[in-house]
Amino acid sequence: MPAAGRRVWNFSAGPGVMPEAVLRHAQAEMLDAAGSGMSVMEMSHRSPAFDAIHTASIADLRTLLAIPDNYHVLYMQGGATAQFAAVYLNLVGQGDTTTPVDYVVTGVWSDKAAKEAQALGAHVRRVTDTSADRHTTLPDAAALALQLGAAGHGDRGGKPAYVYYCDNETVHGVEVSPATAVLDHVPKDVPVVCDMSSNFLTRPIDVARYGVIYGGAQKNIGPAGVTIVIVRDDLLQRRVPAIPAMLDWSLAAKNNSLYNTPPTWAIYISGLVFKHVLAAGGVTAMEAQCAAKAARVYAAIDGSGGFYRGPVHHAARSRVNIPCRIVVDGAPAEALETQFLADAADAGLVELSGHRSVGGLRFSLYNAMPMAGVEALIAFMAQFQQKHGPPRA
């Protein structure tokens, strides 16, 4: 165990590492935020002090992603899981079982999104599903063009109300890259809905090409408990009345996310992160850092002579969630992986286990993970291999 009071290198897939400067800021004003004489947790959500926090956070996010004026930015609750329902309920409406909705299924999260819509009555079409490859690939351009293209609508029962995809699958570690790889195949009059929970703010995006973008905060933004929804104004008109208020985008938009008490602390911390990212050069700088960190880790895996192996095909590899197996004699060595996790924790490197559904190791490299943490991980990987791996050829 590291000495008390020492910060560990936290590779959690989320909730995950946050910028230390943000934590120190929140710590310093815990009892008196900005001269208010109270913690942000104690502020009325309708007070001028909280309004300033809320307003600045949205302005900063708009700057970071160059969000056009015809998009609303909403703070909602319930994580991506709540949005899985909200997407269908806002864009089609519960009880409409005929209007098709198209899902590009590339991992467990897009699969869950499709299932949730289906459970609520949606006519879900899985335009592609990489489960046969255990979600280690992405659909190729030709398949997407065929399935998503206008030409395909007729064969499949008409134009969908939307096309849904997940930009980065946290569990399986596959990321759509470039960001436009799916978008390029969707006809212009079909809105694209994108879950960016795990790669939010890791690269510039062209918001205008999306209908809806959302992301839970607990990976690249702030604490768990707030979800950011960026929605094009015209799509706010689609929802039907029988929708729970807390899932209703148009209600949130009309009330500036203050229909009821929002998760004020989570919004505050998110705002501090936005300011931190802006000061660090914005999403272009994040993209460069992200690429550099991922390149170092993949190089360590690929250069290990097969001791470390990433299951994901190269073209589908995520920059932020890197699954990895320790392989001996051609098979995953689970006992060694357990040893790896224990020894890493002793060295102050934590949350390196793969998702419980896939096992193995996983290295999450969100924005707040500095290169120093990545270097510490790589050094540890080399040491561990030297100690436990077969002699290198």
Catalytic residues: 109, 195, 219
Taking the least distance from each CB to a copy of itself, the nearer of 250 and 304 is 250
From 128, 98, 124, 127, select the one nearest 113 (Cα to Cα): 124
352 sits near a copy of itself (criterion: CB under 8 A): no
193 sits near a copy of itself (criterion: CB under 8 A): no
- Select the residue interacting with a copy of itself from 120, 192, 286, 297 (CB under 8 A): 120
360 sits near a copy of itself (criterion: CB under 8 A): no
348 sits near a copy of itself (criterion: CB under 8 A): yes
Number of residues that bind a copy of itself (CB under 8 A): 77
Helix (H) or strand (E) holding 265: helix 264-279
Taking the least distance from each CB to a copy of itself, the nearer of 22 and 327 is 22
390 sits near a copy of itself (criterion: CB under 8 A): no
222 sits near a copy of itself (criterion: CB under 8 A): yes
- Nearest-angstrom CA–CA distance, 45 and 42: 9
Pairing between β-strand 308-309 and β-strand 321-328 as defined by DSSP bridges:
antiparallel
Minimum CB separation of residue 381 from a copy of itself in Å reads 20
Alpha-helical runs (H) found in 92-140: 108-119
- Nearest-angstrom CA–CA distance, 94 and 91: 10
Q: Is 125 exposed, middle or buried (0-12, 13-18, 19+ CB in 10 A)?
A: middle
Phi, psi angles (nearest 5°) of residue 221: -120, -75
Taking the least distance from each CB to a copy of itself, the nearer of 78 and 332 is 78
- C-alpha 205, offset from chain centre: 14
Taking the least distance from each CB to a copy of itself, the nearer of 158 and 244 is 244
256 sits near a copy of itself (criterion: CB under 8 A): no
Taking the least distance from each CB to a copy of itself, the nearer of 35 and 391 is 35
Please work out, in degrees rounded to the nearest 5, the angle formed at the alpha carbon of residue 202 by the alpha carbons of 127 and 108: 35
Check residue 243 and report its DSSP letter: S
- Select the residue interacting with a copy of itself from 5, 154, 178, 391 (CB under 8 A): 5
Long-range contacts of 378-385 (CB under 8 A, 24+ apart): 378/296, 378/297, 378/300, 380/343, 380/344, 380/347, 380/349, 381/300, 381/304, 381/308, 382/300, 384/339, 384/340, 384/343, 384/344, 385/304, 385/307, 385/308
372 sits near a copy of itself (criterion: CB under 8 A): no
26 sits near a copy of itself (criterion: CB under 8 A): yes
Minimum CB separation of residue 314 from a copy of itself in Å reads 28
In the region spanning residues 55 to 74, those forming contacts with a copy of itself, defined by CB under 8 A, are none
- Select the residue interacting with a copy of itself from 143, 145, 190, 224 (CB under 8 A): 224
188 sits near a copy of itself (criterion: CB under 8 A): no
